[in-house]
Structure 1
Amino acid sequence: MGAHCGRFIQACKHLRTIQFRAGTHFGGRTCELWDKADKVVLTIFAGTWNMGNAQPPDDLRDWLQPGYDIYLIGVQECNYHPRPWLDTCARDWRATVEENLPGLVQVCKHEMGHCQILCYATDKVSRSIHNVAASHEETGLGGFLANKGGLALSFWIGDTSICFVCSHLAAHQRNIDRRNSDTAHIIEGICLTKDQLRPLTHQFTHVFWVGDLNYRIDLDREACEELICEHAWEKLREHDQLLKVQQEEKAFWTFQEGPLNFAPTYQHIPGMGPDPETGLRPYDPKKGRVPSWTDRVLWQSFPDVDVTQLPGSYTSSPTLCTSDHSPVSAVFQLPLNKPFRIQETAGFLYIQIQNLRATGLPPGDHHVSFWGQYCEGTKHTTNATSKDGCAQFSRVTLRTRPGVCSSKWVQTRHLLVAIYKVDDALESAHMKSHPVSTLMAMTGLVEGFEEPDGYGVVSLRGAGAGKSFTAALSNSWGYHVGSLHGEVKISTFPTVESRSDFEIANVLPKTPTWETPSNVNARLEDSGEQLSGCCLNVKTMRFM
């Protein structure tokens, strides 16, 4: 019973999700930012700084350079005595940022312990930002202390979704597995949307992840400092723990990073700036820590989405020397297509998916589901039995919503994929271990619950003429679990074979399933109706 109570408390922490701006309906979003253009290109600044619990200097412009459209700022160990006219450290920090970035609009702010995330935008861009939410997940002391963990905020600009994560992971050279585990808990634990099961990394078009990730360089201190003095960044990268972890697909395996062509940002002597000749800050000899790139800026995007990191923008700012860390930042260019406007008198399109094959599956029966915001509901394959980790699935045809009839626009979109094992939900490993699942079992919500074995994303670019695809699959913790292969084509008319997809119920689970509260909410929101009473989001545990 004690274990159940502990899981119940952990599950209830998901009540913390905060909505800052309301969402808007697909097909009717503002096009003010685009005016008469079909595409705009925004610049996004993403920065992180472990402030070392020291008061920052007034001038941050060496790091927070002006002139960008959106600023995503994350800090850790932000705990110092505020200036006399401000009552908290958090307010003092926000005031300092705003003094360095005048004229911007605050889109979102969120705190967890001594960590903060901030989002600012120009006035013109801010007016097109909607559906803003924020949440966090502690990972310190078994998930109850906020000294370590992650914060996240998300928003939409037109039809593009963006998520910003700032994390402070487990410290010390040896704790690689703990850092990997912290990352998995953040990915699984933070929920910013009504999709109650899909992991954080499979909910948004773009995810920018910054923070003191605490991955170290596996060298002795003397050898590391010698390479730093030589500016031998390529040799240092060979010993970087995070790069090794990514190659081994143990954490952050879907994320990209710019070239680490700057000195390791930790552990410096607080208060000592860079040497005027070498440009390097001295490293603290007292604790004997190996200098490391603990502070990072990573990003991932859905496949075939254009986003670029500006060359040379991934760098540190060693002149800000109040902390034992130097701040780090990068700048991205993000093209955005004009939001789609539904043509009510127009027709619709068909998205036909066939020759489906999945690898890396556990034994048992499975089915695959496909969903797109611009489609009429979710479509599923029939059940298929996995043999030697592989399964072949039936054809699926999705139909777009009425009025979504532009093949050119649909080819800029994606389909979200989930593969389910069709078993008794109570027997799954997830039901035995996950705190939310335990709460569901205790409250009788378990009958309608299925935990997918894998999530993926299929790009529709080039599907107008038909194409093959391979989608990598991750589980709810962000670990790589397999792949889904198939063919996809967008057409104006369904084939004779695909018409049957709209005439039969093609999912045959072993246990009955019911419509979930989040699906009810989504359906009613799209129809403009109101739901009396409240629904429980089983991942965030929010009544909605």
Structure 2
Amino acid sequence: MWPRLIASKILKKRVGSNNFVADYPSDTETWIELPSLDQNFPSFNSDSCMVLDQEETQNYKVFVGTWNVGGVEPTDDLIIDDWLETCNMSCDVYVCGFQEVVPLRAANVFGGENKKITMRWNSIIREALNKRNRSEEKCKDVKSTGDDDDELGELPKYRCIISKQMVGIMISVWIRSDLRSFIRNPSVSCVGCGLMGCLGNKGSVSVRFRLHETSFCFVCSHLASGGRGGDEKYRNSNAAEILSRTIFPKGPSLDLPRKILDHDRVVWLGDLNYRISLPEYATRVLVDKGEWTALLENDQVTFIEK
């Protein structure tokens, strides 16, 4: 009990509580402004937000991607355009989840946020989303969104509204800059499920915000590994811990959701580590034969649903 309690306090201190980085300044102390940004953006306080008529419905397209990078730092020439499908630029919101952005050794597990690695990944995402030199042959039918910050015919600009790292788990959320006035109440909640049941080598980083009047929650997680029979119990336990322990800070609105499942839209992403409960050779044979029903019958996620 005592070791877990001490480790939990260390994690909370190292992770930085509810702080996160973002492109936009804010009046709240839970924001940390990223460097080299435009200074004329409005802050995310309630006074600067425009609210649509409750009966009006807006449709938005969201990209969600997850990548376990295996503890390897990104190279200077890393290009992620294909992953983000930036040629189409048809998404309004981009959510990028990462696992093992740092090697999972003791110094990193017990250490604080690696701001250098976070900034490198965000820089790569920014470059991919805001690149202006795409060829017309590769990127056809791209239309202007009418963003005030962009000239006619240019691709939309994207800005980071939330970026948070806990040990190897990182999530970064980007929006079209013309949507900035409709974003409210961004916040984060971290849950460690790793060593001693609480350290951040496994667990989740969850983010929430409101777009117009709809609340969104994105849960980026890295669950317990292990390919032996019964190891899925640890993954199930991690997921249950994340659901029960994720609590977002109170906001100015009394009806602001604080638990994951209380949000209007929830997306769970990450390296969940669920797998096919069959020997590798048997799995490969079924794949070669296209026996998808047999594979689904042995899918650990299917077991959970039952």
State the TM-score, normalized to the length of structure 2. Answer: 0.68
Q: Deviations over 1:158-185 (max 9, x none)?
A: 2211011110010012311111111111
Match of 1:180 in 2: 236
User: How big is the shift at 1:233?
Assistant: 3.4
Percent identity, please.
Answer: 29
Contact 2:4 2:196 in 1 (8 A): no
**Residue 200 (structure 2) pairs with residue 146 (structure 1):** yes
How far apart are the structure 2 equivalents of 1:6 and 1:223?
40
Q: Alpha-carbon deviations, 1:120-176, whole Å to 9, x = none?
A: 000112221110001211111123422111101100112211011110010012311
Query: For residue 96 of structure 2, what is the aligned residue in structure 1?
Result: 73
Q: Is 1:46 aligned to residue 100 of structure 2?
A: no
Q: By percentage of residues, which structure has more strand?
A: 1
Tell me the SS of whatever aligns to 2:82. coil
Determine which of 41, 46, 50 is the counterpart of 1:24: 46
Distance 1:199 1:129 in 2: 17
Q: Which has the larger radius of gyration?
A: 1
1:6, distance to aligned residue in structure 2 (A): 5.0
Aligned partners of 2:273 and 2:188: how far apart in 1? Answer: 23
Distance 1:69-1:110 versus aligned 2 partners, 3 A rule: same
- 1:60 paired to 2:60: no
1:444-502 per-residue CA deviation (whole Å, 9 max, x = no partner) reads xxxxxxxxxxxxxxxxxxxxxxxxxxxxxxxxxxxxxxxxxxxxxxxxxxxxxxxxxxx
> 1:322 — aligned with what?
none
Closer, same or farther: CA 142–22 of 1 in aligned 2, 3 Å = farther
Alpha-carbon displacement from aligned partner over 1:91-126 (angstroms, at most 9, x marks no partner): 221111111111211110000102110000001122
Deviation at 1:61, TM superposition (A): 2.1
SS in 2 for 1:88: helix
- Consecutive unaligned residues of structure 2, counting only runs of 5 or more, are 20-29, 32-42, 104-114, 131-156
Separation of aligned partners in 2, 1:131 and 1:231? 46
| 1:116 alignment partner, SS class | strand
The equivalences for 1:134-173 within 5 A come to 134-173=188-227
Alpha-carbon distance change, 61 to 232 in structure 1, aligned in 2, over 3 angstroms? farther
Check 1:199–1:245 CA distance in 2 against 1; reply closer, same or farther (3 A cut).
farther
Q: How does 1:460-539 map to 2 (within 5 A)?
A: none
- Specify the SS of the correspondent of 2:285: helix
State the Cα distance separating 1:234 from its structure 2 match. Answer: 3.6
Tell me which protein shows more helix as a share of its residues.
Answer: 2
Structure 1: distance between partners of 2:176 and 2:197: 36
The one-letter code matched in structure 2 to 1:182 is N
Q: 1:169 touches 1:183 (CA, 8 Å); kept in 2?
A: yes
Mapping 1:1-40, distance limit 5 Å = 3=1, 7=5, 10=8, 13=12, 16-18=17-19, 19-20=30-31, 24=46, 30-31=50-51, 38-40=56-58
Q: How many residues align?
A: 234
Q: What is the RMSD of the two structures over their aligned residues, measured on CA atoms?
A: 3.0
Correspondence list, 1:120-131, <5 A: 120-131=174-185
**Offset, 1:22:** 5.0
Residue 447 of structure 1 is matched in structure 2 by none
Matched residue type, 2:46: T
